[in-house]
Amino acid sequence: GECDAKKKFTGKSFEIRPTGIAHLLLYLPNTFKGEHYTWKKVTMVITNLILGSPAINHYGDMEITNHRTGERCVLTFKQRGWRGKEAKKDKGSVFDQKGNLAWELAGKWTTQLIARR
């Protein structure tokens, strides 16, 4: 895949905005078929670089596409708020090849992601 990043340092935090598209090819067991996935990475911010304990946060929308089936997932990483209540939370939706909602996703990117119909 393609990989580059736009970087921004403010003195208190370091922000990295990846550009380009990531690719993954998975071969299905007992077949010669492969599933080709692509996605764009979300923004990463590292805070408390100088004072305190450094913390990593991701935010933005990530769209993941399965090019063999036409299914796609839109996953939203929430930006950490002042109190950190929304830190590391994400939610999203999975759509079938016709664009119909198939699954709803919710969880934290550091621990678990739960899918519901």
- CATH number of the domain that 70 lies in? 2.40.160.120
- What residues form DSSP beta bridges with 44? 16, 58
What pTM was estimated for this model as a whole? 0.80
Q: What is the pLDDT of residues 69-106, one digit of tens each?
A: 999 999 999 887 666 666 678 899 999 999 999 999 99
Structure tokens at 117: 């119909």
Mean pLDDT over 2-10 rounds to 78
What's the domain count of the chain? 1
In the three-class reduction of DSSP (H, G, I as helix; E, B as strand; rest coil), residue 87 is classed as coil
Domain enclosing residue 30, as ranges: 4-116
Q: Which amino acid is at 17?
A: R
